[in-house]
Amino acid sequence: MNTIFCAGCPQNMDITMPDEPYTAGDEMTCSSDGHPAATYSWTVDGDPGSTTSMQALQEDEHEYVCTATVTFNNGQTCSDTESVIEITAYSK
């Protein structure tokens, strides 16, 4: 049996949150489908954040945006974003 993988842009984006109450340093995880596997980058209030699928929550209220990018063999890319708005994390 042969399996055929087709190239595709990231879809079905999901951000998995830690258990509440949120504490600074807790991590949320961004995931998506697409092929080849996506790379991830985060922004926190518009500033650069993590460059992995995981982003640590920062103290106080922030907006987090995850971008998933698929790069094809020919160098072309496509991406999608998912955001979590007004998440408040408390200090440990």
Are 56 and 50 in contact by the 8 Å Cβ rule? The answer is yes
Has residue 7 been placed in a domain? no
pTM above 0.85, yes or no: yes
Structural domain count of the chain: 1
Has residue 57 been placed in a domain? yes
Are 47 and 63 in contact by the 8 Å Cβ rule? The answer is no
For residue 1, is pLDDT > 80? no
Give me the pLDDT at residue 44, please.
Answer: 97
36-72 per-position pLDDT tens digit? 999 999 999 999 999 999 999 999 999 999 999 999 9
What does the block give as tokens for 83?
Answer: 């955001």
Question: Band of the pLDDT at 28, cuts 50, 70, 90?
Answer: very high
CATH code for the domain in which residue 44 is found = 2.60.40.10
For residue 4, is pLDDT > 50? no
